[in-house]
Amino acid sequence: MSDDRHLAALRTYWKQHNSFPALNKLCEVVGLSSSSSVFALVGRLSEHGYLERVQGRVAPTRKFFARPLLGSVRAGLPQPADQSPPEVLTLDDYLIDEPNRTSLHRVRGDSMRDAGILDGDLVALEHHAPAGPGDIVVAVSDGELTVKTLRRDPAGTFYLEAANPDYPPIRPTVSLEILGVVVSVARRIRR
């Protein structure tokens, strides 16, 4: 698309301000000299599905936040590069199935490291999802919040198990409430 540079400027502005500027400022943001040029740009970006007009204002669509998915990349031996056109995907589309029942939680500690959940990771928690033994859950055990694997012993009693041998199982004495099932994990490698 010929408007990629303008779209990039709009995405950068949105990331910094979580909104779009007024029309007169929009000229400056995208590097165009006239409001008619900006109107035409907004029209083209709307036609391509990146923007929409909501109550007389310009608003981003899901596609605005999508990124190209360039195919798979091997973590072992290198492979030939995929030359097919990329599809686009938002992280929300990939990580979250039920947006109205999902919340994000930042993990603190290393008790789930062997399950690939590290200190500082974000977990997406699906609320009101059926939880069973083997599911990683966020739970309140005797009034304390934690993320662990839900287990059931031979007597049928539920308990919570860490994914790190340095931590003992948590066997609630009063109550165990499952807040939801962890459906995905997000991690930043570089800050």
**pLDDT 10s digits, 33-91:** 888 898 899 999 999 999 998 887 889 999 999 888 877 777 887 878 777 777 888 88
Confidence of residue 153 (pLDDT cuts 50, 70, 90): very high
Q: Specify which residues 149 forms β-bridges with.
A: 136, 161
Q: Which pLDDT value is given to residue 1?
A: 57
**Could you confirm whether domain 99-186 is CATH 2.10.109.10?**
yes
For a pLDDT cut of 90, what percent of the chain falls above it?
62
Active-site residue, selected from the candidate residues 36, 111, 141, 175 = 111
Domain 4-65: state its class.
mainly alpha
Active-site residue, selected from the candidate residues 2, 35, 148, 184 = 148
Residues 10-41 have pLDDT tens digits of 999 999 999 988 877 888 899 888 888 988 99
Q: What is the average pLDDT score of the chain? A: 91
Residue 111 is a catalytic residue: yes
Q: Domain spans of the chain?
A: 4-65, 99-186
Distances from the Cα of 12 to the Cα of 20, 123, 131, 180, angstroms: 10, 26, 40, 34
| C-beta of residue 170 within 8 angstroms of C-beta of residue 141 | yes
Residue 25 is a catalytic residue: no
